[in-house]
Amino acid sequence: MVGLDVGTNGVRAVAVDPSGGVVAMATAGYPLHMPRPGWTEQDPEDWWQASKTALRDLTSKLESPVTGLGLTGQMHGSVFLDERDRVIRRALLWSDQRTAKQSKAITEIVGESRLLEIAGNPALTGFQAPKVLWLRDQEPEAYARVQHLLLPKDYVRLRLTGEFATDASDASGTLLLDVRRRKWSDELLTALDIPREWLPRVYESPDLTGKVTRVAAAETGLHSGIPVAAGAGDNAAAAVGLGIIRKGAASVSIGTSGVLFVDSGGLIHAGGELHTFCHAVPGRYHMMGVTLAAGGSLSWWRDALFPGHDFEALTRAASQVPAGSEGLLYFPYLSGERTPHRDPFARGGFLGLTTRHTGAHMTRAVMEGVAFSLKDSLDLIVAAGVNVKELRATGGGARSDLWRQLLADTLRLPVYRTVVDEGPAYGAALLGGVASGVYANVDESTSVIKLRRQAEQPNPERAELYRRYHAAYADFYPVAASLMHRLADLASDGSFV
Q: Which residues belong to the active site?
A: 234
Q: Are 295 and 255 in contact (CB under 8 A)?
A: yes
Strand partners, 275: 288
Bridge pairing between strands 41-42 and 275-278: unpaired
Q: Is 327 left (phi over 0), alpha (psi -120 to 50) or beta?
A: left
Those residues with Cβ within 8 angstroms of residue 308's Cβ, 6 or more apart along the chain or in another chain: none
Separation CA 8–CA 31 (nearest Å): 9
Would you call 180 exposed, middle or buried from its count of C-beta atoms within 10 A (0-12, 13-18, 19+)? middle
Query: Phi and psi for 453 in degrees, rounded to 5?
Result: -65, -40
DSSP string, 13-54: EEEE-TTS-EEEEEEEE---B-SSTT--EE-HHHHHHHHHHH
Those residues with Cβ within 8 angstroms of residue 335's Cβ, 6 or more apart along the chain or in another chain: 38, 40, 95, 97, 292, 293, 296
Which residue spans within 315-474 are E strands per DSSP?
329-331, 349-351, 391-394, 415-416
Q: Are 205 and 241 in contact (CB under 8 A)?
A: no
Q: Buried b / exposed e across 146-168, counting CB within 10 Å, b at 16+?
A: bebbbbbbbbbbbbbbeebbbbb
Closest CA to 329 of 451, 447, 468, 212: 468
Q: Given 3-state DSSP classes, what are the helix, strand and coil percentages for the chain, each rounded to the nearest 5?
A: 40, 20, 40
Q: Are 398 and 391 in contact (CB under 8 A)?
A: no
Q: Are 374 and 407 in contact (CB under 8 A)?
A: yes
Separation CA 114–CA 111 (nearest Å): 5
Residue 215 amino acid letter? V
Q: Are 393 and 252 in contact (CB under 8 A)?
A: yes
SS3 at position 101? helix
Q: Are 466 and 410 in contact (CB under 8 A)?
A: yes
CA 116 vs CA 97, 175, 180, 271, 464: distances in Å: 21, 9, 11, 7, 36
Query: 10 Å Cβ neighbour count for 11?
Result: 26
